[in-house]
Structure 1
Amino acid sequence: MSWGLETQSLGGTWTSGPGAVLQTGGRLVVFDRGTDNAMWHRWQLTRNGAWSDWGPLGGTWTSDPDCALNAPGGLVVFARGTDGAIWHCWQEGPDGDWSGWASLGGQWTSGPSALLQTGGRLVVFARGTDNAIWHRWQLSPNGDWSDWGPLGGTWTSDPGCALNAPGGLVVFARGTDNAIWHRWQEGPDGNWSGWASLGGQWTSAPSAALLPGGKLSVVARGTDSKLWQRSQVSTNGSWGSWTLFGGTATSDPDVALNADGSLVVFALQPGNAVAVLRKYWVPDPAPEPERTTVPRLVGLLSSQILPLLQAARLQLGQIANTTGEIRSDRLRVIAQDPAPGASVAVGTRVNYRVELAQQLQGIASIQVQNRHQQGRPVEIYVHDSATGVWTHKGSLTIGANSTLSLSSGRIYTIVAVDPGLTNCNGRPDNVSCQRLIWGARGDSEGVPVTLTIF
């Protein structure tokens, strides 16, 4: 398997990196700052479907936006205003009306990063005038906000944030060494770890998401302007190496999960249009199946076929048998598919057609006598090769007999059904019912035969 990259342009001309989130109902939405410095957004009309036109949300902004869901399931978008404070605008529920813009205060030198944490409370991160990371959070679901609290460090990018598998917060930022660093909680409202480096040399802020299965993944733009990705190798475990995600970005990336759980990345590309980049697995070409040669079956008895097919690593297919005979040692193969000598994949099914191996002596009539050892009556059935159906010829009580006349040129199967046998359902083609089974070829000039049921 290998990775493929699908890129979809969402158009427009934008002056910031985008912010995106998967909203209630499984539809992606993306926000960006236009050439008028106002906030605009575009959303999928259906789950994993087509996109709306860009729609305005107003304001005058000086940073990349970021977005999240709130506790009622509505969208919330954050951005830095001309006053240096972080502002936000929200919906009260899925697809609800938008509020006005409201300030969260502070003086910030970056755009915000936000998410809905465990317990339904929003949290927002930003870089202060001291270049440290600060955060502010709701005290209750959809409720009031705390004061801004410091998380320290000296950073050169917008922050990025995500939840980890235990439900704690994780914040990411680029350091003065241009590496990506992160700090985390071990669970909801837990204590914060120290800052730890994820290495690399990066020219953008990081963006991160918690993948299905509980592994974090972070994306950043490298010195080659391409997007790179690093993920945890196990749930809340150690980190793998940085690998190329692909695509060329001219802005900070923002990641989101698609409706199917796959990671999608939003970023500006040359020309300043927003693009959605999605990675997908490209299956390796299927290996050529191992092949074998079909043996010659024509002329052999049906009882000889299975060992030959097994030796050639082939499977038994359909057997066309219109004779009425069920004993394989009395049936000879007269045609087969695939043909003898054909090169086929191992495991191919081989079908064949049979006829009676030795013509039975022509029989003019059959007298059936019932001398059942347990004294039970039996039901007499005859199968005619011309019609392909079973015909009930009546019941035969103990000691009674019946004469059956046969037409020339047809193959007959005569069955005595004993309903008293175990697992008998009264059907003549059920071997559990057959007290007697006999085959004959009809011939008006043939000899009479007597069959006795014991």
Structure 2
Amino acid sequence: MLLQLTLLLASTGQVLSIPPRGSCQPFHPEPRSTHLDWNTPRPDDGGFLANRTDVHTEEFFNNPPIKRSSLPAQSVSAPLNPLLGRATPGQWENLNGNAIYHAAPASWGGSRLDVFYMHRDRKCKYKSRDRYDGGWSDWNDLGGSLDGPPACCSRKNDNYHVFCKGTDNQPWHRSYNPGSGWGPWQSMGGTMKHYPSTCSCGSKHVGIYVTAPDGQCWHRRYDEDRSGGWYSWENMGGFLDSAPKAVTWGEGHTSVYCKGDDGQAWHKKYENNAWGDWESLGGSLDGEPAACAWDGRMHIFVKGTDGACWHKAYRKGSGWGSWENMGGKLKPGRAPDVVVWKGKMELYITGDDNAVYRRVWENDKWTPGWENMGGNVDWKPSAVTWDDGRYEVYGTASDGSCRRCY
């Protein structure tokens, strides 16, 4: 009876409000003391910058064998149900593909949109569209030998930077530039855990952030005006237990978030040409955080150890507010995702029923409950905004196909 009522509410397009819940593993909002020194980088001892002989050559990464060890195929998923959530048939679009992990949508501005993913043969695939040129391109093969989802950002029109963790545990990079198109994959050096994060703070700068095997955060910065482009790796210290998440509200600012090995959320900010100290934000995280920033504001979203989505906000001049329980019931091991455009945030989660849920922040308030968007998604959702305020979310279905909701 309860299941029938749930489906009836969803099929009529009603918002399904899931209230905050209790749990045997409660969320601890207050920062806890730690005996660890997050702000003094520890000696690398060859863990990150070691001269290794077991790495891929750039020739291999750019021209991998056609046949390599593939990840096992998953069972075919049930079709995405157009009667759930926003209830308009065809609103979930099947882009096909054969992905593992979540997708990475990105836009360089205007009417251009691209989506990247790791194919089951470990190559990076992408497809693109321009709203004024019609529909989607075919899936294009960027090659590579990936061990996790790619990360992508754009610092100006006609430009992309794509980063990934290779099967040799090195960070790799490939860029797209006007006139020359896609360049080759380049090894960035270093040895990493998890997958990378990237963001661009202005039209000339881009950064990559990774977690080293010993849990320290490392950063490498690109400057268009610098000969050779890239600076050396910088050790930012810390005791990370997740992939980092980097965001920016504009030129001269970057913030990095992570889950610490103590389960708390941690934050480090670059401003006034210098990095500040790591600060504990408290919380009890189950996985890496999501974050966004604009106009001196920052928002971090996490899956708590109680299974709910939690939120903490920062405003320049007044600092951090308290943790807010957003409710919801996230799928184990799946982080939320958030995207913002001109002060309007859209927050997405994958529920424990594999459907995608959404809440919207607009005019300084949240919608009252989680909206069921339907779907049958295996991984975390991936959100993007493009074309002056269009919001979309992407999910990987259990059959590996890339699905788009708009």
Q: Indicate the TM-score class for this superposition, using the shorter chain for normalisation.
A: 0.5 to 0.7
Q: Kindly indicate whether the alpha-carbon contact (under 8 Å) linking 1:161 and 1:172 is maintained by their aligned counterparts in 2.
A: yes
Match of 2:121 among 6, 12, 36: 36
Structure 1 distance, partners of 2:350, 2:268, is 28
Deviation, 1:170, is 0.7
**Aligned position for 1:100:** 184
Match of 2:233 among 124, 133, 148: 148
Deviation, 1:128, is 0.6
Instruction: Indicate yes or no: 2:336 matched with 1:208.
Output: no
Q: Kindly indicate whether the alpha-carbon contact (under 8 Å) linking 2:151 and 2:164 is maintained by their aligned counterparts in 1.
A: yes
Deviation, 1:230, is 3.0
**Aligned position for 2:108:** 23
Using the size of structure 1 for normalisation, the TM-score is 0.52
Q: How does 1:355-366 map to 2 (within 5 A)?
A: none
Q: Kindly indicate whether the alpha-carbon contact (under 8 Å) linking 1:16 and 1:251 is maintained by their aligned counterparts in 2.
A: yes
Match of 2:244 among 155, 159, 164: 159
Structure 1 distance, partners of 2:378, 2:290, is 15
**Aligned position for 2:271:** 186
Deviation readout 1:293-347 (Å, 9 max, x if unpaired): xxxxxxxxxxxxxxxxxxxxxxxxxxxxxxxxxxxxxxxxxxxxxxxxxxxxxxx
Q: Kindly indicate whether the alpha-carbon contact (under 8 Å) linking 1:74 and 1:91 is maintained by their aligned counterparts in 2.
A: yes
Match of 2:161 among 67, 76, 98: 76
Structure 1 distance, partners of 2:403, 2:303, is 14
Structure 1 distance, partners of 2:306, 2:285, is 10
Structure 2 distance, partners of 1:22, 1:32, is 15
Q: Kindly indicate whether the alpha-carbon contact (under 8 Å) linking 1:247 and 1:277 is maintained by their aligned counterparts in 2.
A: no
* Equivalent residue pairs, number: 272
Structure 2 distance, partners of 1:260, 1:224, is 36
Instruction: Indicate yes or no: 2:191 matched with 1:110.
Output: no
Deviates more, 1:114-123 or 1:125-134: 114-123
Deviation, 1:233, is 6.3
Instruction: Indicate yes or no: 2:371 matched with 1:268.
Output: no
Q: Which amino acid aligns with 1:268?
A: T
Deviation readout 1:342-365 (Å, 9 max, x if unpaired): xxxxxxxxxxxxxxxxxxxxxxxx
Deviation readout 1:61-80 (Å, 9 max, x if unpaired): 11221011145641111111
Q: Kindly indicate whether the alpha-carbon contact (under 8 Å) linking 1:65 and 1:79 is maintained by their aligned counterparts in 2.
A: yes
Structure 1 distance, partners of 2:391, 2:324, is 17
Using the size of structure 2 for normalisation, the TM-score is 0.57
Structure 2 distance, partners of 1:220, 1:137, is 26
Instruction: From the superposition, tell whether residues 241 and 139 of structure 1 become closer, same or farther in structure 2 (CA, over 3 Å).
Output: same
Structure 2 distance, partners of 1:48, 1:257, is 18
Q: How does 1:284-299 map to 2 (within 5 A)?
A: none
Instruction: Indicate yes or no: 2:209 matched with 1:125.
Output: yes
Q: Which amino acid aligns with 1:232?
A: A
Instruction: From the superposition, tell whether residues 182 and 50 of structure 1 become closer, same or farther in structure 2 (CA, over 3 Å).
Output: farther
Instruction: Indicate yes or no: 2:279 matched with 1:195.
Output: yes
Q: Kindly indicate whether the alpha-carbon contact (under 8 Å) linking 1:184 and 1:193 is maintained by their aligned counterparts in 2.
A: yes
Q: 1 or 2, which has the higher strand percentage? A: 1
Structure with larger Rg: 1
Deviation, 1:221, is 4.7
Q: Kindly indicate whether the alpha-carbon contact (under 8 Å) linking 2:259 and 2:285 is maintained by their aligned counterparts in 1.
A: no
Deviation, 1:267, is 4.1
Instruction: From the superposition, tell whether residues 207 and 272 of structure 1 become closer, same or farther in structure 2 (CA, over 3 Å).
Output: farther
Instruction: From the superposition, tell whether residues 247 and 111 of structure 1 become closer, same or farther in structure 2 (CA, over 3 Å).
Output: closer
Instruction: Indicate yes or no: 2:320 matched with 1:217.
Output: no
Deviation readout 1:352-389 (Å, 9 max, x if unpaired): xxxxxxxxxxxxxxxxxxxxxxxxxxxxxxxxxxxxxx
Q: Kindly indicate whether the alpha-carbon contact (under 8 Å) linking 1:207 and 1:218 is maintained by their aligned counterparts in 2.
A: yes
Give ranges in structure 1 of 5+ residues lacking alignment.
279-454
Deviation, 1:171, is 0.9
Deviation, 1:184, is 1.1
Instruction: From the superposition, tell whether residues 223 and 127 of structure 1 become closer, same or farther in structure 2 (CA, over 3 Å).
Output: same
**Aligned position for 1:446:** none
**Aligned position for 1:63:** 148
SS at match of 2:195: coil
Q: Which amino acid aligns with 2:292?
A: A
Q: Which amino acid aligns with 1:174?
A: K
Structure 2 distance, partners of 1:3, 1:120, is 42
Instruction: From the superposition, tell whether residues 272 and 174 of structure 1 become closer, same or farther in structure 2 (CA, over 3 Å).
Output: farther
Instruction: Indicate yes or no: 2:219 matched with 1:135.
Output: yes
Q: Kindly indicate whether the alpha-carbon contact (under 8 Å) linking 1:107 and 1:129 is maintained by their aligned counterparts in 2.
A: yes
* Higher RCO, Cα 8 Å, sep 6+: 2
Deviation, 1:149, is 0.8
Deviation, 1:172, is 1.5
**Aligned position for 1:347:** none
Q: Kindly indicate whether the alpha-carbon contact (under 8 Å) linking 1:179 and 1:199 is maintained by their aligned counterparts in 2.
A: yes
Instruction: Indicate yes or no: 2:137 matched with 1:52.
Output: yes
Q: Which amino acid aligns with 2:265?
A: I
Structure 2 distance, partners of 1:271, 1:230, is 32
Instruction: Indicate yes or no: 2:361 matched with 1:258.
Output: no
**RMSD of the TM alignment (CA)?**
3.4
Structure 2 distance, partners of 1:172, 1:264, is 24
Instruction: From the superposition, tell whether residues 180 and 14 of structure 1 become closer, same or farther in structure 2 (CA, over 3 Å).
Output: farther
Match of 1:232 among 313, 330, 335: 313
